[in-house]
Amino acid sequence: MGSDITGLHHVGHVVRDMTEALALYRRLGFVVPPPGYPTMAPHGGAEPVPLGAANTHADFPRNFLELATHVREDSRIPEDAKLVPLVAPPDVLPVLLGRIGATSANLAVCLDRFEGVHILMFSSSDVDATAARLIGGEVRHGGVNTVQRPVKTDDGVRMEAVRYLEIDGARPGLEAEGRIGVVADLDPEIQGTRLLEHPNGAVSLLEAVLCVAADELAAVEARYAAYLDRTAEQDGVTRVFDLGAARLVLVTEGDLGSLLPGERPVALPALVAFTVGVRDEAPVERLLHEGGFPTRRAASGDLFVPSEAALGVAIAFRSVPQPS
């Protein structure tokens, strides 16, 4: 019987300055739409102000990269940001504000550790079945949540239902390495309405790399085996969970440098890298060099931008076969 987990849904790069992050990802060759910032008036008659958490995506057909930030009073708001007033019935608004507050607080905790990738979400063909399986395996989570968001399509505006769960660690919705969870598979029709053509030729999220202390490797591997309903296999110095079209890679602190030369984690455990599939690596390499990015080669041969040049995460690029 196959697993309910079908792949990587998205990774989330948690940043301090969204304006800086947008500039970075656009220079890397990704199309990144203006971020959305929830707003609300602090009191009657006052102007709405941004609050909570803001985000945007670089989208692919089956998954995406997320940029997210904790909104503070002194946060610099990008000039092209979309300010989204919070509107909800009186009985729903406190719940909505509670969720936004919890998400924002968790992002703040992540940023206190370091700026980088702190969000790892897996796709599920049946998120309710995933929730039940995790409870049966004594994996604590906050239950399946559903949020609705409007999406412009050729047939007008449709509501996209996003159903997800977050795994609990020491804090609700936050494991040691960050926000880990499961999301229902993206709707291909709705995802197809988004901006999917990137100047760097990116077409998919292929891999996430989690670095752990050597004496914690077995425990972390067992934890993810329970989350993903599958076992890891040895691949060189790494332990790998095969998710079909994507992979989760576990590596110890001592072996990270042999996997990604020059990389060192700033904390443990940490999501230290991700790999994007591109149509052709050669033009990506030219784009990066023209943009002034330093590049290195991973043990796999993949081209990557080191973490010190990419706000705390190594970003790798790999050519993937294209349908003829």
More confident residue, 44 or 80: 80
Quickly state the pLDDT bin for 317 (edges 50, 70, 90): very high
pLDDT at 32 over 60: yes
pLDDT at 132: 98
Quickly state the pLDDT bin for 237 (edges 50, 70, 90): very high
pLDDT at 324: 58
In this structure, are residues 314 and 260 in contact, taking their beta carbons and an 8 Å threshold? yes
Distance CA 187, CA 292 (A): 37
More confident residue, 122 or 51: 122
- Reported as a single tens digit per residue, the pLDDT across 244-287 is 999 999 999 999 999 999 999 999 999 999 999 999 999 999 99
151 in a structural domain: no
In this structure, are residues 205 and 276 in contact, taking their beta carbons and an 8 Å threshold? yes
20 in a structural domain: no
233 in a structural domain: yes
**Rounded mean pLDDT of 70-78?**
91
Distance CA 101, CA 51 (A): 9
> Which H or E element spans position 208?
strand 202-212
- Reported as a single tens digit per residue, the pLDDT across 9-26 is 999 999 999 999 999 999
220 in a structural domain: yes
120 in a structural domain: no
* CATH assignment at residue 231: 3.10.180.10
**Nearest partner of 13 among 30, 25, 26, 28, judged by Cα:** 25
pLDDT at 2 over 80: no
In this structure, are residues 181 and 172 in contact, taking their beta carbons and an 8 Å threshold? no
**Nearest partner of 310 among 253, 282, 280, 271, judged by Cα:** 271
pLDDT at 73: 85
Residues in the chain: 324
Domain total in the chain? 1
Quickly state the pLDDT bin for 158 (edges 50, 70, 90): confident
pLDDT at 298 over 60: yes
116 in a structural domain: no
249 in a structural domain: yes
Residue range of the domain that includes 271: 202-319
pLDDT at 45 over 80: no
Quickly state the pLDDT bin for 229 (edges 50, 70, 90): very high
Distance CA 98, CA 102 (A): 6
Quickly state the pLDDT bin for 321 (edges 50, 70, 90): confident
**Rounded mean pLDDT of 288-316?**
98
SS (H, E, C) 37-79: EEEECCCCCCCCEECCEEEEEEECCCCEEEEEEECCCCCCCCC
In this structure, are residues 10 and 66 in contact, taking their beta carbons and an 8 Å threshold? yes
Distance CA 53, CA 84 (A): 12
pLDDT at 88: 72
In this structure, are residues 31 and 58 in contact, taking their beta carbons and an 8 Å threshold? yes
Mean residue pLDDT across the chain: 93
**Nearest partner of 210 among 199, 198, 201, 219, judged by Cα:** 219
pLDDT at 227: 98
45 in a structural domain: no
**3-state helix vs strand vs coil in the chain, percent to 5:** 25, 35, 40
Is the torsion defined by CA of 256, 260, 263, 268 positive or negative? negative
pLDDT at 1 over 60: no
In this structure, are residues 100 and 108 in contact, taking their beta carbons and an 8 Å threshold? no
DSSP string, 116-174: EEEEEEEEES-HHHHHHHHHHTT--B---EEEEEEEEETTEEEEEEEEEEEB-SSBTTB
pLDDT at 185 over 60: yes
Q: Where are the alpha helices (DSSP H) in the chain?
A: 18-27, 93-113, 127-136, 188-191, 217-228, 253-259, 281-290
Instruction: Extract the tokens encoding 184.
Output: 């229902």
